[in-house]
Amino acid sequence: ACFAAMRELTWTVVGDAPRASTAGPRLGVLSVPGGVDGRDEPVRIATPACLTYTRRGEPAHLTPDVLATLPPEARAFQVCLTHFMDHLPPTHVSNCPGGGRAYFGSAPTFALATARDAITFDQHAKPSNDASATYVGTPVGAKKVSVEEYMRWVFATRPHAFVQLADEQHSVEGVNAKKTRAAVERTANWLDACAAMNETDEKNAGTPGTPPVAMFASVQGGCDVEARRLSAKAAASRCLGFDASRNALGEPPASNETNAKKKTSRRDSVFGFSIGGLGTGEAPGAARAKLVAACVAELPREKPVHVAGVGAPLDLIAMIENGVDLMDNAFAHVMTLAGRALRFPVDAKDVEEKGEDAKTRTGASKKRRRDAADDDESLFSGSDAFSLNLWSLKYRTDTRPLLENCACHTCAHHTRAYVHHLLQCREMTASVLLDAHNQFHFLRFFAAAREAIANDAFAAFAAFHRNRAKEETEAGESDER
């Protein structure tokens, strides 16, 4: 059993017990069995961790040699399986010599498969209306996907972990409560279906010793706090042993008859939880935090919590505050697509080191706030507290790196003027250089968050970022006046 355990994916909390059991920021370690059959050294990924957004299994603009310039945690991927659902069946991946995992040339150290793209969230896919399938967005349009087909893809690609197929609702106000409950119930049913197929595959798996695919249960419920709680309870109940006498949501049967079925104590089939449907229209800040807190309160704290599609730095801080362990860096990629370079200081220490930037934030005069190299003061550049807009003509002759003192590949070799030029020419290399920088910076931000948690200083870390954003916004507004 111990040997088998070594070959499986594990996640453990780091630090003392009280922190482990209460909702709040915490450190953890995701231990990924290395190599085939777990024979090599496991890879350890510290959480809260940021998974790299991918397209068809690879980071969108980064070839393996450029990916190698990023820190090793960049090779933990979040893979959206619907990217593959275009022309060919799952066998074209699983037929790859060495199995499905060998298909991915970048050889991710950890891959978490999801059913929704973290950026587009299948905005044009139709809402599901039947119990057997849901609509997902694929490169060839909206497609109906059942649990069976989704699991076929999971087994073909053999990620280290996957999020169950869920009936994801957009979290907008005003959705019919009955609809939300139906979606929650469907999600719980599909959790059981995925678990059943996962077990079957493990028994029938071709290669002996193939580790099972760790499953993340999805917690849904839209904007409805009660539904969220219900969904979280239902997902949590699968960990502790499943009581078949209750319905999918864990409620006792409607009638007073005792159910003849015995309580089925199932193996713990849930590895972690993924809080779904976020970043789809709920108000960020307090409203979203309330939804997440409601979910986390019902979930066992010894399992990791994942949230996809919530991007901006302040939002991620709120997620970590509420006890989320795994997130994705889709925001960094969205910034790249917009031609923006991330430039916010990752923590208070970072500001001091950067010198010039530090002077600007405390009621300094308008003149000092401007960049020293800015010749044409009247150009409004569209940059903000977190990122530079490199399309702006302001950067035409700016020979500084994207971010001073940044150690990424782009800042070591290139200038703002060059990236600006590439954007203006619509050159592909612009995206490569921007992604290399933005992902590097985002990973630094996460490293700083982890350090703050380790030093018990996360509240100060969060306050720093919130205050900074507030000051930048206010200063910017006063500038315009």
Q: Contact at 8 Å (CB) between 136 and 142?
A: yes
Q: Is residue 359 close enough to count as binding another protein by CB under 8 A? A: no
- Of 381 and 429, the one with the shorter C-beta distance to another protein is 429
Residue 65 binding another protein, by CB under 8 A: yes
User: Quick one: 4 or 107, whose CB is closer to another protein?
Assistant: 107
- Determine contact, residues 142/135, Cβ cutoff 8 Å: yes
Q: Per CB under 8 A, which of residues 375..434 are in contact with another protein?
A: 396-397, 399, 409-410, 413-415, 417-418, 420-422, 424-425, 427-429, 431-433
What are residue 356's phi and psi, to 5 degrees? -60, -40
Binding to another protein (CB under 8 A): which residues in 23-52?
Answer: none
71-110 mask for another protein (x: CB under 8 A)? ------------xx-xxx---x--xxx-----x-xxx---
22 versus 95: smaller Cβ distance to another protein: 95
Distance (Å, rounded) from C-alpha 166 to C-alpha 185? 10
Between residues 60 and 166, which has the closer beta carbon with respect to another protein? 60
Q: Which is nearer to another protein, 310 or 433 (CB)?
A: 433
Site string for another protein, 214-243 (x = CB under 8 A): ------------------------------
Pick from 19, 55, 400, 466: which binds another protein (CB under 8 A)? 55
Residue 274 beta carbon to another protein: minimum distance, rounded to whole angstroms: 25
User: By C-beta, is 428 or 463 nearer to another protein?
Assistant: 428
Site for another protein in 107-166 (CB under 8 A): 107, 139
- Residue of 59, 100, 137, 279 that binds another protein (CB under 8 A): 59
Question: Which residue lies nearer to another protein by CB, 180 or 410?
Answer: 410
Task: State the nearest-atom distance from the C-beta of 428 to another protein, in Å.
Answer: 4
* 374 touching another protein, by CB under 8 A: no
Compute the distance between CA of residue 461 and CA of residue 48 in angstroms, rounded to an integer.
14
Q: Which is nearer to another protein, 102 or 205 (CB)?
A: 102
Alpha-carbon distance values, 163 to 14, 25, 260, 307 (Å)? 23, 22, 32, 10
Q: Are 320 and 130 in contact (CB under 8 A)?
A: no
Cα–Cα distance between 51 and 225 in angstroms, integer? 27
Q: Which is nearer to another protein, 189 or 438 (CB)?
A: 438
Q: Which is nearer to another protein, 124 or 481 (CB)?
A: 124
From the CB of 279, what's the least distance to another protein, in Å? 23
Instruction: Pick the binder of another protein from 43, 50, 51, 60 (CB under 8 A).
Output: 60
- 66 contributes a contact to another protein by CB under 8 A: yes
- Cα separation of 325 and 24, whole Å? 10
Minimum CB separation of residue 413 from another protein in Å reads 5
Residues of this chain that bind another protein (CB under 8 A): 55-56, 58-66, 83-84, 86-88, 92, 95-97, 103, 105-107, 139, 396-397, 399, 409-410, 413-415, 417-418, 420-422, 424-425, 427-429, 431-433, 436
